[in-house]
A and B are shown apart, each in its own frame.
Chain A
């Protein structure tokens, strides 16, 4: 029978093909593109979460349907210096309507720094269907994609998170051990600015959290987080990232520790190395504000800054 395919069937096939194409364009385990996210926004099993550092960003317009996580109260313990507890984190996810089978996409302002911190916390608690919106809020806005101001309420989800997995979180003792060893089997990446790494300054201007000593952890290499992104804020390609870190001696053969000042920008590099390149990486969230204040630990200070002296 020579039945002509109907126009409707043609359209269906076309849209299926298009959506497959879109899905493929976002086909990484770590990242989704802005176009993919826009096309998938109405999916019930997808939850978009904004983690921005500046208050008022989410409220004045967010990706439609997105939920707001405030990193300085929702994702950390507000009294002790620690990430959110298991119970706190689980109830946060449930209140955002996240179920066992929900896919999560995180995004935020300032180059996804805090969204990447969020991705790290999700990973610690064993929630693994989590990706970052490549380019973050800035790219979404730059492309003129829609924003909504009406908050979305979801019925509580049923997700159960695992106990904290410390295989992706480094603590001081472990870092000091690497710093002291003559032939360390772990690589350390310092993602702060060159001036901080060299010890010319203790911290960028205007921040309140400081250290008593300047410099870096012995053996650490300096690859500023900004090297990992393109001009539009998207991550460089895996090949480019591999070459960038290999040039600094980080090729994935050894486990890696990333750190910065308070551990949030280093989450961005943790994300690139761990989630995009698949290396074995721990984020040291104590970072320089812990290390540079610790007594008796070795420090490399290239600039020779003498603390407190005139």
Chain B
């Protein structure tokens, strides 16, 4: 069974990596496109992924837990505790995205495109995770332990939860479309089909559709999409061996999210997922010609490193990042997913404004 989980994770990771690379599915870049150039296409792609995922997750939930009102949560779905800690974690994550120029999943696929500086960001993420573990016990006692775990279908039923969230996504889409100013340069319609698939980036909504479907398949067969479980596990294992972390992380293993266990096997399903993601992005970038080794400047390295630390801390305390908590959380109808999205955006926007002003 574990073998099957690893094989499936390799396939899903490869699919995710190729999709991220082909459609430039980078949460930060897509948001910046809108903030700077009023180009809403990227953010609409994210909304597409969320809508497809929401529908698929709710269909699966009906199988996994026919009655959502009985006080249980569907297995493994990323439904986390809602507290001020989550808000601060998401805010910090958003600032980290601006500083390092990408979220964690985008650093992973960029690594496949030859962005060496992403390694520095990922090292920062590992350190950030260590800081997250170190602060976890006090945050857990201060807020997380008493925090409600809000799952919308529990109170609204599956139809109510699905309709309400689709309406919310629709409302955001309307706002974005109103603000959208079509880019001056449209993709060349005379391109051959082959070029459209293998050379040119895919439209974000195509990537979004496919990522939404991939997320549903991943949840059905293995676990919700997430990219930080393995990073967190590496940080936890290193910190544990160096005796730098608390011996007991209170209550952490009781929450579903990007779980971070002390590593016992070299290749966990999430580890396989991450490796396949990077390799598939690399192959995809080679074919399309997007691969080039990008030099690292001192300033860039510093931003990547500092941003990585902030993202690591945020992803640990929020039990996931833009993929594990935002995408997989909102698809699952978790209030924690929505809260993460709102505060992550706020952190990104605020730090982007400050960055522009200075």
On A, residues with C-beta under 8 Å from B are 55-56, 59-60, 138, 141, 149-151, 153, 206
Q: Is the CB of A59 within 8 A of B63?
A: yes
Q: Is the CB of A56 within 8 A of B66?
A: no
Whose C-beta in chain A lies nearest to the C-beta of B220? Answer: A60
Check B266 for interface membership: any CB of A closer than 8 A.
Answer: no
On B, residues with C-beta under 8 Å from A are 1, 63-66, 74-76, 220-221, 223, 261-262
Q: Is the CB of B75 within 8 A of A153?
A: no
Given A55-B76, A60-B221, A153:B66 Cβ within 8 A? yes
Given A55-B75, A56-B75, A56-B76, A150:B1 Cβ within 8 A? no
- Cβ of B311 to closest chain A Cβ, rounded Å: 28
Given A150-B63, A151-B66, A153-B66, A59:B1 Cβ within 8 A? no
Whose C-beta in chain A lies nearest to the C-beta of B74? Answer: A59
Q: Is the CB of A206 within 8 A of B262?
A: yes
- Cβ of A63 to closest chain B Cβ, rounded Å: 14
- Cβ of A208 to closest chain B Cβ, rounded Å: 8
Q: List 9 A-B contacts (CB under 8 A).
A: A55-B75, A56-B76, A56-B223, A59-B63, A59-B75, A138-B1, A151-B63, A153-B66, A206-B262
Q: Is the CB of A141 within 8 A of B1?
A: yes
Chain A residues within an 8 Å CB radius of B65: 59
Chain A CB count within 10 A is highest, among B65, B75, B262, for B75
Instruction: Give the docked Cα–Cα distance between A55 and B75 (Å).
Output: 6
Chain A residues within an 8 Å CB radius of B64: 59, 151
- Cβ of B261 to closest chain A Cβ, rounded Å: 8
- Cβ of A172 to closest chain B Cβ, rounded Å: 27
- Cβ of A241 to closest chain B Cβ, rounded Å: 27
Whose C-beta in chain B lies nearest to the C-beta of A206? Answer: B262
Chain B CB count within 10 A is highest, among A55, A59, A60, for A60
Chain B residues within an 8 Å CB radius of A138: 1
- Cβ of A10 to closest chain B Cβ, rounded Å: 42
With A55-B76, A141-B1, A151-B63 known, 13 other A-B pairs at CB within 8 A are: A56-B76, A59-B64, A59-B65, A59-B74, A60-B220, A60-B221, A138-B1, A149-B63, A150-B63, A151-B64, A151-B66, A206-B261, A206-B262
Instruction: Give the docked Cα–Cα distance between A248 and B74 (Å).
Output: 45
Chain B CB count within 10 A is highest, among A56, A150, A151, A206, for A56
Chain A residues within an 8 Å CB radius of B261: 206
Instruction: Give the docked Cα–Cα distance between A142 and B1 (Å).
Output: 9
Whose C-beta in chain B lies nearest to the C-beta of A150? Answer: B63
Instruction: Give the docked Cα–Cα distance between A60 and B5 (Å).
Output: 12
Chain B residues within an 8 Å CB radius of A151: 63-64, 66
Whose C-beta in chain A lies nearest to the C-beta of B254? Answer: A208
Instruction: Give the docked Cα–Cα distance between A56 and B223 (Å).
Output: 9
Instruction: Give the docked Cα–Cα distance between A151 and B65 (Å).
Output: 8
Chain B residues within an 8 Å CB radius of A150: 63
Whose C-beta in chain A lies nearest to the C-beta of B4? Answer: A141
- Cβ of A136 to closest chain B Cβ, rounded Å: 12
